[in-house]
Amino acid sequence: MGPLLLVLLLALILFGAGFALKALWWVAIILLVVWLLGFVIRPTASGGRRGRWYRW
């Protein structure tokens, strides 16, 4: 009974990790698209000239 519960627990952990990694890939892709769009669509600075879209 113990090894069966251990295998089921391991399967549950691996399934959860796989789902989390897939979700993190989608988040990374969305952030990459937003980051690339920042280079194309740059907001204008307060002086009217085009400035950087990031703050660092």
In angstroms, what CA-CA distances link 48 with 9, 35, 40, 42, 44? 59, 22, 17, 12, 6
Domain that holds residue 9: 1-56
Does residue 56 register a pLDDT over 60?
A: no
Phi, psi (rounded to 5 degrees) for 32 = -65, -40
pTM attached to this predicted model: 0.54
pLDDT value of residue 29 = 92
Does residue 51 register a pLDDT over 80?
A: no
Average pLDDT over residues 8-36: 87
How many domains does the structure of the chain reveal?
1
